[in-house]
Chain A
Amino acid sequence: MSSKTGFIVERWTRLSAATTVIAAALLIVLAFGPLLFGANVVDNLTNLFIYVILSVMWNALAGYAGLISVGQQTFFGLGAYFAIQLSYHGVAVYPALLLGAVVAALVSLPISALMLRLRGGEFAIGMWVVAELAHLLVVLDPLVNGETGVSLLALTTFNPDTRRDDNYWLALASMVVLLAIVFALLRGRLGASVQAIRDDEDAATSVGVKVMRGKWTIFFLTAFGCALAGTLWLATSITFQPNTYFGVQWTAYMIFMVLVGGLGTFEGPIVGAVVFFLIEFFFGQTGVWYLIGLGAVATLFALFLPRGLWGTVEDKSGLRLLPVGYRLRVPGPEQARAD
């Protein structure tokens, strides 16, 4: 029998500490973005932050909790819709953006009570149906003017430059806070529990995991995150057209970013969002060929690099910048092998 004492469970390395410092430095630079960059760059970076939020949310949902949804645009659209409703009812516009996301997250509660009973493909398609239903219901609201849509007029009272900078800071702050929450949750007990649920729900139950509570927590958090991304999108574009906000293309983008970056890794979706952003930046104007290109890239990744860019780097090098897992180090001949 080998020694049962003297083992170490490694959760944080020097590399992780260094990564945190570099990330913090980068964020400080980004915080001064509007003072450093031109208007175009600020606009583009705001979009990038929104993409990162969406990507990280979908990964938390699908990559960690195993809840593969093609209907997260439900909350993206509802967040924007409720923000408009709140604004038209006299709530100041920026608080309305945040509150809109909160209301959409609250709406996710009754939805989750029904949807989380479904498994696998049923859940995925069920969520799409929910998104279409939310779309139809929102269009019934006279305020929205059917598919014509409505504008967040309260925002147009701001000076465009001020608005651009405020949106940038709001998106940056939202991204940082949401990433921190997701990271903390995944590193905590919940992270291990939801991964067990993802891998085998019945086996997770058999070792004592409260399955519904784990799924529900992640579902609620990601509903809020997607809704906040929706209100941020509204803040940058001002107009709300139901077709755009409830469109399934948002889910397609999320899947693309997560698959390319690395499903089930914390860093991967951030990488994926940057890749998606760059592709859009350089090829976004080429119309239908852009969409064909996106589809082709996603297919190639699924076929030849199923663990995504970051997942592959992790597998090949053992590199873990921001680890959420556990590494056991045992002294002596039974040294646990790092794979």
Chain B
Amino acid sequence: MAASSVEGGLLVGAGIYKHFGALTVLDGVNFTLAASESVGIVGPNGAGKTTLLNVLAGAYRPSLGAVYFNGTEVTAFDAAQRCRLGIARSHQIPRPFAGMTVFENCFVAATTGGGLSGHRAYACCVEALDLCHMLHVANRRAETLGLLDRKRLELARALATSPRVLLLDEIGGGLTDEEANNLVETIQVLRGRGLAIIWIEHIVHVLIRGIERLICMDAGRIIADGKPEAVIADAVVIDAYIGGKAAP
């Protein structure tokens, strides 16, 4: 299974296990993201969604298993190396560079992860900020931003690295309908440019407008994977969420 999926996928996790002490958070996950594909991940709290994202982004090493990007094994690469290759991520709890301006936050990302310099780096930042509706706060220190702008900055900063794969962790939580619509629009633009996306989100009705394939995780495993409507209707998924007994 692992060998064949490595061939076809842009980002592949093969047989991923992650233990924290006695706790098993990822229990044998096989996951393949094709180029330009957008995949949503849902699942109850503690299902291992963010841990999977951390393993793919390089923030955690898996206890067992391997991660491949574009046919190359990157398991031993740290997050900075993977970002330079083209894997960018946002954080569930925003982690802005608080003492720097919004523009400077993006500039660091464009010059390090994106490998750009000079005017090309500036242009890349302006485009990312424009796309995330943040140009008007470009010169504000990030510590002065509210939660919505902090979440937007997570996305803008990830985009400034000129990624091929974007890993998004709950950037839609707490948004109003209009803000959610803006976010979905932005995601659609990115998909149109051929960016591959993995998006973890609890708000399923927003999520399914931005993705073409849906995965449901529970207890460290993938329990459903396919067309969004089919996954949502899946009896096992309903069971995982509601906790009742599913029909046989």
Contact = CB atoms under 8 A, between A and B. Distances in A.
A327 interface: yes
Given A211-B80, A337-B140, A192 B100 contact: yes
Interface string A183-227: 000000100110110111011111111110000000000000000
Contact of A207 (B59, B113, B123, B142): B113
B97 A208 contact: no
A336 B136 CA distance: 5
- The majority secondary structure among interface residues of chain A is loop
B45 interface: no
A207 B139 contact: no
Interface string B50-86: 0000000101000000000000000000111001100
A2 B112 contact: no
A324 to B, nearest CB: 10
Interface string B81-105: 0011000110100011111110111
A208 B141 contact: no
B99 A4 contact: no
B135 A330 contact: yes
A45 to B, nearest CB: 33
Tell me which of B78, B112, B127, B141 has the highest count of chain A C-beta atoms within 10 A of its own C-beta: B112
A328 interface: yes
A337 B137 contact: yes
B109 interface: yes
A338 interface: yes
A204 B136 contact: no
B108 A209 contact: yes
A202 B59 CA distance: 8
Interface residues of B, number: 48
B158 A326 contact: no
A327 to B, nearest CB: 6
A199 B111 CA distance: 17
B157 interface: yes
B140 A339 contact: yes
Contact of A338 (B80, B83, B109, B139): B139
Contacts of B137: 336-337
Interface string A319-334: 0000001111010001
Given A2-B130, A200-B95, A326-B107, A207 B136 contact: no
A92 B84 CA distance: 49
A9 interface: yes
A209 B88 CA distance: 12
Given A4-B126, A339-B140, A196 B97 contact: yes
A12 to B, nearest CB: 14
A283 interface: no
A205 B126 CA distance: 22
B144 interface: yes
Nearest to A197: B97
Given A1-B130, A189-B112, A338-B139, 18 more contacts: A4-B123, A4-B127, A189-B117, A192-B111, A195-B104, A196-B97, A200-B97, A200-B98, A205-B83, A206-B59, A206-B91, A207-B80, A326-B107, A328-B126, A328-B138, A336-B135, A336-B136, A337-B139
> Which 10 pairs across A and B sit closest by C-beta, in order of nearness?
A208-B113, A208-B112, A208-B83, A199-B97, A203-B95, A207-B109, A328-B138, A336-B138, A196-B108, A328-B103
